[in-house]
């Protein structure tokens, strides 16, 4: 039986409405279970969006300190860095993204080893992706409420080891981090 290694999602107002949110939640649950050495989050616009719905405490076994609420991106990223993941966050220098980056940085500085968080700002940035040890989510979606819930977006989830390795090398070359 062959394993599906690539999944494409076209999210529109009438089709695949929840798929991107569900894929993101699944990827972050996977990261709690088996944290990546390095996680690249590249998005011209990034906001502190809700990415893990733990309102029923369904994910408490992943982390006993998880409160029964919807967890925001910054909280999930902070918890992953606490588990040893190095995070590379690349975004534009637009005010809301800068505010998100500063808040995340301020919440971990002095609490985590140096190098746990690398912030990369570039005004000419259009690439988008979330790349871990064994997956790559790329496409048109920014990590914003509109990107996940409103806009028409096309994303590809890649699980093929050779393709993921290629993405990791490309993101490492462009944004730093560790392989």
For residue range 46-63, list pLDDT tens digits in order. Answer: 999 999 999 999 999 988
The answer as to whether 152 is a domain residue is: yes
Longest Cα separation, the chain: 49
Does 121 map to a domain? yes
Find the angle CA(120)-CA(149)-CA(33) to the nearest 5 degrees.
65
Q: Is residue 1 included in any domain, yes or no?
A: no
> For residue 136, what is the domain's CATH number?
3.30.870.10
More confident residue, 63 or 105: 105
Do 80 and 32 touch, CB atoms closer than 8 A? yes
Confidence of residue 15 (pLDDT cuts 50, 70, 90): confident
Residue 71 lies in a domain: yes
Residue 154 near residue 160, CB atoms below 8 Å: no
* Rounded CA Rg of the chain: 15
Q: What is the mean pLDDT of the chain?
A: 95
42 phi and psi, to 5 degrees? -120, 120
Domain tally for the chain?
1
What is residue 101's predicted lDDT score, i.e. its pLDDT?
A: 98
Query: Would the pLDDT of 1 be above 60?
Result: no
Provide the percentage of residues in the chain whose pLDDT is more than 70.
99
pLDDT category, 170, cuts 50, 70, 90? very high
Q: Does the residue 113 lie in any domain?
A: yes
Give the 3-state secondary structure of residue 24. helix
Cα angle 98-85-28, degrees, rounded to a multiple of 5: 80
Q: Which domain holds residue 130?
A: 6-175
């Amino acid at each position: 039986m062959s394993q599906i290694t690539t999944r494409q999602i076209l999210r529109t107002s009438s089709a695949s409405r929840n798929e991107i949110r569900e894929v993101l939640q699944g990827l972050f649950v996977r990261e709690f279970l088996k944290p990546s050495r390095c996680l690249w989050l590249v998005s011209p616009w990034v906001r502190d969006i809700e990415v893990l719905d733990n309102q029923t405490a369904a994910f408490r076994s992943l982390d006993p300190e998880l409160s029964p609420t919807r967890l925001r991106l910054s909280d999930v990223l902070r918890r992953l860095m606490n588990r040893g993941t190095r995070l590379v966050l690349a975004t534009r220098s637009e005010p809301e993204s800068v505010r998100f980056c500063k808040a995340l940085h301020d919440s971990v500085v002095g609490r985590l080893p140096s190098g746990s968080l690398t912030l990369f700002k570039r005004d000419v940035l259009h690439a988008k992706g979330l790349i871990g040890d064994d997956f790559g989510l790329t496409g048109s979606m920014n990590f914003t409420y509109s990107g996940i819930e409103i806009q028409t977006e096309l994303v590809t989830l890649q699980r093929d080891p050779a393709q993921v390795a290629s993405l990791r090398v490309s993101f490492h070359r462009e944004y730093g981090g560790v392989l």
